[in-house]
């Protein structure tokens, strides 16, 4: 039962991170002055697959479609606020997953992910805009497993939470008034040995919103003794970004 719980926790917990979006709102520009706060909100979907190994040496291979089939509800939201050279970014995700892999097994999972940081623009040319950033990622997971063995209910629960500091950059290169290329990358450590990601994107700007698409890759290497040894997940990501400006003195 312990091995099963470890595999389930590994596969489903880390797919939660596949919904993380961090830099997309801050990458796109608006036509307002530096004296005003500029806000952007995003809805996004990352169709990522997950591969890796857990502490028992079992291979992890979870498809995005499997997670969607078991999704029981959730909230995903990201907002960025920019003024002059500074950008504040916050991402909050809450998901519930309910899985019944067999007639006598019931699994409920609740996950919370928060990514937050601050970026500073070090280059603001017409051909390239570059920010450096620092922040952190927090991850919390609760899993409840219930087995029906000979008419008797056996319950087991597991929980895990980690936080890692990150540093990175985000860059935007306008191709025209509507089209632009952007890239986000970070690397960090803390309660895990290492985490890093890279996310190239191409975007098209409409009057009130942007459509952005790209390919994202994220890796996570944990400390010895954890349920997860290493993990990498990657896939296509699409973002709908809404722009709204608020004047705050």
The Cα 64–Cα 72 span in angstroms is: 15
Whether the Cβ atoms of residue 9 and residue 141 lie closer than 8 Å to each other: yes
Chain centroid to Cα 90, Å, comes to 11
The Cα 35–Cα 30 span in angstroms is: 13
Task: Kindly report the CATH number assigned to the domain that includes residue 34.
Answer: 2.40.128.100
Share of the chain above pLDDT 90, in %: 21
What does the block give as tokens for 108? 């409920």
Task: Please compute the mean of the pLDDT values over residues 102-119 and round it to a whole number.
Answer: 81
Lowest mean pLDDT among 32-41, 83-92, 181-190, 234-243: 32-41
Taking every pair of C-alpha atoms in the chain, what is the biggest distance, in angstroms? Answer: 70
pLDDT, greater one: 57 or 236: 236
By CB atoms closer than 10 A (0-12, 13-18, 19+), residue 116 is middle
**For the chain, counts of helices (H) and of strands (E):** 3, 11
Of the candidates 25, 19, 167, the one whose C-alpha atom is nearest the C-alpha of residue 89 is 25
- Predicted local distance difference test score (pLDDT) of residue 226: 64
Name 248's Cβ contacts closer than 8 Å, sequence gap at least 6: 36, 37, 83
Task: Please compute the mean of the pLDDT values over residues 70-96 and round it to a whole number.
Answer: 80
* Predicted structure pTM score: 0.75
- Predicted local distance difference test score (pLDDT) of residue 222: 80
**Domain with 222 in it:** 2-246
Name the band, by pLDDT with cuts 50, 70 and 90, for residue 132.
very high
| pLDDT higher than threshold 50 for residue 30 | no
Number of domain units in the chain: 1
- Predicted local distance difference test score (pLDDT) of residue 59: 75
Residue range 48-78, pLDDT digits in tens: 676 777 666 777 676 777 767 777 776 777 7
Give the best-scoring range by mean pLDDT among 3-12, 28-37, 56-65.
Answer: 56-65
């Amino acid at each position: 039962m312990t091995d099963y719980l470890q595999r389930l926790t590994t596969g489903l917990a880390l797919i939660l991170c596949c919904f993380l979006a961090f830099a997309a709102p801050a990458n796109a520009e608006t036509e307002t002055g530096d004296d005003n706060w500029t806000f952007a909100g995003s809805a996004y979907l990352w169709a990522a697959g997950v591969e890796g190994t857990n502490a028992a040496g079992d291979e992890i291979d979870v498809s995005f479609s499997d997670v969607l089939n078991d999704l029981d509800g959730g909230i995903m939201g990201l907002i960025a606020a920019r003024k002059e050279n500074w950008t504040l970014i916050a991402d909050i995700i809450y998901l519930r997953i309910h899985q019944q892999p067999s007639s006598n097994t019931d699994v409920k999972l609740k996950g919370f992910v928060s990514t937050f940081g601050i970026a500073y623009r070090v280059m603001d040319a017409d051909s390239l805009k570059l920010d450096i950033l620092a922040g952190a990622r927090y991850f919390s997971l609760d899993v409840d497993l219930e087995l029906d063995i000979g008419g008797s209910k056996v319950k087991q629960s597991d929980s895990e939470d980690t936080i890692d500091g990150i540093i990175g950059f985000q860059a935007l290169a306008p191709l025209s008034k509507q089209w632009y290329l952007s890239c986000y990358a970070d690397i960090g450590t803390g309660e895990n040995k290492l985490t890093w990601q890279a996310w190239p994107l191409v975007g098209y700007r409409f009057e009130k919103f942007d459509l952005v698409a790209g390919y994202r890759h994220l890796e996570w290497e944990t400390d010895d003794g954890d349920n997860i040894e290493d993990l990498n997940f990657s896939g296509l990501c699409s973002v709908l970004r809404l722009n709204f400006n608020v004047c705050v003195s």
